[in-house]
Amino acid sequence: MSNPPPLAGGPQGPEALRPLLDTVLDALHDGAIARGGPLPAGGPHTVTTRLRDVIGDPLPHHGTGPDTALRTLVQALAEGAADPADPLCAAHLHCPPLALAAAADLAASALNPSMDSWDQAPAASALETLVTDALAHEVYGDTGHPGQPGRPGQSGRPGQSARPGQSARPGPPGHPQALVTTGGTEANQLALLLARESHASEGPLQLITGDGAHHSLPRAAWLLGLPDPVTVPAPTGTLDPAALDEALTDLPGPKLVAATAGTTDAGLIDPLPEIADVCEHHGARLHIDASYGAGLLFSPTRRTQLTGLDRAATVTLDLHKLGWQPVAAGLLAVRNPADLTPLTHHADYLNADDDTEAGLPDLLGRSLRTTRRPDILKIAVTLKALGRTGLGALVDQVCDQAQEFAATLHAHPGFDLYDTPTLSTVLFRPHGAPDERIAHIRRTLLTQGRAVLGRARMDGRLWLKATLLNPHTQPGDLAQLLKLVEGNTAR
Amino acid sequence: MSNPPPLAGGPQGPEALRPLLDTVLDALHDGAIARGGPLPAGGPHTVTTRLRDVIGDPLPHHGTGPDTALRTLVQALAEGAADPADPLCAAHLHCPPLALAAAADLAASALNPSMDSWDQAPAASALETLVTDALAHEVYGDTGHPGQPGRPGQSGRPGQSARPGQSARPGPPGHPQALVTTGGTEANQLALLLARESHASEGPLQLITGDGAHHSLPRAAWLLGLPDPVTVPAPTGTLDPAALDEALTDLPGPKLVAATAGTTDAGLIDPLPEIADVCEHHGARLHIDASYGAGLLFSPTRRTQLTGLDRAATVTLDLHKLGWQPVAAGLLAVRNPADLTPLTHHADYLNADDDTEAGLPDLLGRSLRTTRRPDILKIAVTLKALGRTGLGALVDQVCDQAQEFAATLHAHPGFDLYDTPTLSTVLFRPHGAPDERIAHIRRTLLTQGRAVLGRARMDGRLWLKATLLNPHTQPGDLAQLLKLVEGNTAR
């Protein structure tokens, strides 16, 4: 082979990338125009058939060359996307990424650092440590510093309110840290694993969750070979401290309670301080899945909704939700860094003892993955570009949208509103429609390519779910969404 | 907030991205020039201090705006990178990604599909199914089709040699499939999990590996709550079938043997057909970690080195090694799709029964992750752009480089060569140098910023490791590498 295709890295990489990126941008644009809405019309069969026709043989003997492959496949992907940048794509915790975060992510792809050894990621390793420390501090404040109590309202940053629930008790030695994960699911797995190992000598760990907790928690218990979780009924959607207290009473062995700050179905926040009290009383370890809710930390007015967060041993964050990152951007904040010891891992080719003694640091023990993309880069660029103020404004924007949308629904005789939103999720249903109709409306809008709405069962009934994560959404967009639902209600 | 920052998606996304990408490309270029070599000089303390100075407060109250944040952080990352696009960065299975793959990956960031439900990734779901089926077919051929035996040499694709080790026995019903993973580590975890679940009723699964197997295998056993693995000594670097036979004899309970096609230390391939025979004899399930070696499938002349691969129940592939993808691009090929049943997963908000009955497909059961980036896009673009021929030529290129480099070392009086390379890993050492000197040479070259070499212990001695994964590397580059090593040998 005389002329291998150009690489993305090195001094020549940028010039090789430039025309290819032009092709990608053109294809993204043309695909979005061809789609003409939040998702492609026609439903799964139509989309799959079209894609199959475009791609032909996915592994041909001779290739088409870069330009054709990029143009056709990227355009097909864009034309067949459910694009969260469209205001009517509002089903899931599936955010539209900021352009600056997507641009930063390109540099991760081009340089391809791998976080499992220093000599594959010198600067990226340093960056990850700095930024994860800052995010862990955002969750826990200074509670972790040895002998130093939390300092409510003394963060020294101008205009910032007190850290939520920063308690006066001294934290464990060492400062809180955070692990980078592929999302809330991996963060929840790690939280369970760290709890399992912390209590390994005391018998099998028992997970206790409310029944509104994310499905990744029981799945993680299964993965890790732990007993089936105890599920506390949560008819109102949040974990009731009294019911939790009852469930924990006389429950033998080591216990991990997983509470939620931002449920998937309704965006509800469990009563964190009361749950923390119950856990403390029963000697149960507390994990809080704040995949959705952690974004409130950036909002000066809303961060008090997270009071009690810092009382958890571990907290799941997910900046591909209220953080506007491309997937993946998950984190697990860990209050006591000693809890990370079980992840310590040695592989002679990556972190031989004599290399470590000679001063080569490594992040191999910060993940269960080995090769690992520097997802921290796009997060770092976003935090630096927007600051806490900019991110907080985005959070407030979508939460305010949700309040306004809920008010509209409340005032509308044709719709029932489930409740005033806690975060940015609004559950509603056309008044009097049976559950089957609700499910059908959602599927019809999907098949028409006109809206992507979610669904949730609350109070024994099925509701349409709008998860508002797009700061560019306007009231008119949501009015249009209601019209689309109304148009499909009577049929 | 009157004016939120622009999004990457939608019809306006490409225009918002364009100037930001220009900034990123300029910063990548300037960072590479400032670095001036394969990695930054000065060692960890210098790199960390510089980065800390550049970033300042990682989470400031007010942001700097996108342009400054992108320019400074991307340039700092590039300046502080160990860039695999530099021929002297050759330590690890850390490939330089192709520009076309990095460009394709941008589209994944911009559109942000998430693979856990159809309504977050309509076309991406179809694409993943098509491409993973093609890759599973590349591993297993048609052996999986019901009642249809493998067809050696009858693939119908022009110029392609027989699939490696395509045996005549009929496969299980259904066609082989592949799961997308974050890398070889997650693929190995999944292989162990699927084996654990397949044999759940028979008692705890016992993993058996050679001691050259990847560290992720014993770590996965720990994660999954399985007994400690039985490790078969492998003094020659590969798993000896006779030693395996002995280890399996009288070993009770369900057994999973993990063999390796491309060891991390020396790029060796276990004797796969003989190992498969031993496994069959003992009723042990076989997994093959071909993270490194699977790339040989694309080479018409080298794919016979993988004979026996299709006899494994599961095979790990990793296209961020011999596939020139940005991280992550792992896969687990699964011969019998019924083995995937334990991953079946329901979450009402993602795949409610009535939605499934109404024809909405979903890939939730294709991963342990929930939110999941479409890493298949860059893979699909690469396969389509280069074809099997183009990828095979790249594989041959780096394997040929390794052969030539080994020949040079063999002829050089100042160096010892460990062995003729099987893949593209070359182990060597300055003749007569003690182990401590070998380790010191590697660290000195790192600190000087002049070369990134790996290390491996074989035959009881420490060797320098060059893992050649850059198809642009020239013989002169490797001659320079030897000069650098020589220059540090005598001191």
In a domain, A4, yes or no: no
Q: Are residues B443 and B456 in the same domain?
A: yes
Q: Are residues B211 and B273 in the same domain?
A: yes
The partner residue sitting opposite B112, judged by closest CB among A96, A129, A130, is A96
Q: Are residues B39 and B138 in the same domain?
A: no
Distance from CA of B5 to the nearest CA of A (A): 7
Is the CB of A204 inside 8 Å of chain B's CB atoms?
no
Is the CB of A326 inside 8 Å of chain B's CB atoms?
yes
Q: Are residues A61 and A124 in the same domain?
A: no
Domain range for B64 is 13-81
pTM: 0.95
Q: Are residues B224 and B287 in the same domain?
A: yes
Distance from CA of A461 to the nearest CA of B (A): 13
Q: Are residues B345 and B458 in the same domain?
A: no
CB A66 to CB B385 under 8 A?
Answer: yes
**Hey, of A18, A28, A442, which one would you mutate to test binding to chain B, going by the most B CBs within 10 A of its CB?**
A28
DSSP class of A303: G
Q: Are residues B117 and B205 in the same domain?
A: yes
User: What pLDDT score does B156 carry?
Assistant: 32
User: Cβ contacts (< 8 Å) between A94 and chain B: which residues?
Assistant: 112, 114, 120, 371
Give, rounded to a whole angstrom, the gap between the first and last alpha carbons of chain B: 63
User: What pLDDT score does A142 carry?
Assistant: 79
Is the CB of A369 inside 8 Å of chain B's CB atoms?
yes
CA dist list (Å): B379 to A59, B64, B135? 10, 35, 10
The domain that holds A415 is classified in CATH as: 3.90.1150.10
The partner residue sitting opposite A10, judged by closest CB among B83, B93, B349, is B83
CB B21 to CB A186 under 8 A?
Answer: no
User: Cβ contacts (< 8 Å) between B47 and chain A: which residues?
Assistant: 122-123, 126
Cα Rg of chain B, angstroms: 24
In a domain, A89, yes or no: no
Which residues 269-298 on chain A approach chain B with CB closer than 8 angstroms?
none
Q: Are residues A380 and A414 in the same domain?
A: no
In a domain, B92, yes or no: no
Residue A41 in tokens = 């019309």
In a domain, A33, yes or no: yes
Q: Are residues A338 and A430 in the same domain?
A: no
User: Cβ contacts (< 8 Å) between A292 and chain B: which residues?
Assistant: none
Q: Which of A337, A368, A384 is the C-terminal boundary of a domain?
A: A384
User: What pLDDT score does A173 carry?
Assistant: 58
Q: Are residues A200 and A343 in the same domain?
A: yes
Q: Which residues of chain A have pLDDT under 70?
A: 1-2, 143-173, 491
Q: Which residues of chain B have pLDDT under 50?
A: 1, 144-172
Distance from CA of A139 to the nearest CA of B (A): 12
CB B59 to CB A345 under 8 A?
Answer: no
User: Cβ contacts (< 8 Å) between A389 and chain B: which residues?
Assistant: 61-63
Q: Which of B194, B229, B237, B110 is nearest to B366 (CA)?
A: B194
Instruction: In whole angstroms, give the CA distance from residue B355 to residue B336.
Output: 27
Is the CB of B343 inside 8 Å of chain A's CB atoms?
no
CB atoms within 10 A of CB A375: 28
**Helical axes A122-140 vs A376-411, angle rounded to 10°:** 40
CA angle B326/B327/B332 to nearest 5° reads 120
Is the CB of B426 inside 8 Å of chain A's CB atoms?
no
Q: Annotate A245-282 with b (16+ C-beta within 10 A) or e (fewer).
A: bebbeeeeebbbbbbbbbbbbbbbbbbbebbbebbeeb
In a domain, A3, yes or no: no
User: Cβ contacts (< 8 Å) between B104 and chain A: which residues?
Assistant: 24, 70, 73-74
Residue of B nearest to A86 (CA): B10
CA dist list (Å): A233 to A209, A211, A236? 9, 5, 9
User: Cβ contacts (< 8 Å) between A29 and chain B: which residues?
Assistant: 11, 13-15
User: What pLDDT score does B338 carry?
Assistant: 96
Is the CB of B28 inside 8 Å of chain A's CB atoms?
yes
User: What pLDDT score does A2 carry?
Assistant: 56
Q: Which of B81, B104, B130 is the C-terminal boundary of a domain?
A: B81
User: What pLDDT score does B2 carry?
Assistant: 56
Please name the residues in contact with B394: beta carbons below 8 A apart, sequence gap of 6 or more. Answer: A1, A4, B298, B322, B324, B386, B471
CB B70 within 8 A of CB B343: no
User: Cβ contacts (< 8 Å) between A452 and chain B: which residues?
Assistant: 119-120
Is the CB of A340 inside 8 Å of chain B's CB atoms?
no
Instruction: In whole angstroms, give the CA distance from residue B177 to residue B143.
Output: 12
Distance from CA of B383 to the nearest CA of A (A): 5
CB B373 to CB A113 under 8 A?
Answer: no
CB B7 to CB A97 under 8 A?
Answer: yes
The domain that holds B242 is classified in CATH as: 3.40.640.10
Residue B10 in tokens = 């939608």
Instruction: In whole angstroms, give the CA distance from residue B162 to residue B166.
Output: 8
Q: What is the number of domains present in chain A?
A: 3
Q: Which of B63, B81, B99 is the C-terminal boundary of a domain?
A: B81
User: What pLDDT score does B175 carry?
Assistant: 94
Residue B480 in tokens = 């320079």
CB A118 to CB B94 under 8 A?
Answer: no
In a domain, B169, yes or no: yes
In a domain, B103, yes or no: no
Distance from CA of B169 to the nearest CA of A (A): 25
User: What pLDDT score does B174 carry?
Assistant: 86
In a domain, A63, yes or no: yes
Instruction: In whole angstroms, give the CA distance from residue B431 to residue B157.
Output: 48
User: Cβ contacts (< 8 Å) between B9 and chain A: which residues?
Assistant: 32, 81, 83-86, 96-97
The partner residue sitting opposite B61, judged by closest CB among A13, A157, A184, is A157
Which residues 88-127 on chain A approach chain B with CB closer than 8 angstroms?
91-114, 117-124, 126-127
Report the complex ipTM: 0.95
Q: Give the SS3 label for residue A452.
A: strand
Q: Are residues B374 and B405 in the same domain?
A: no
CB B9 to CB A32 under 8 A?
Answer: yes
* Sheet of B425-430, strand order: B415-417, B425-430, B461-467, B454-458
Q: Are residues B138 and B166 in the same domain?
A: yes
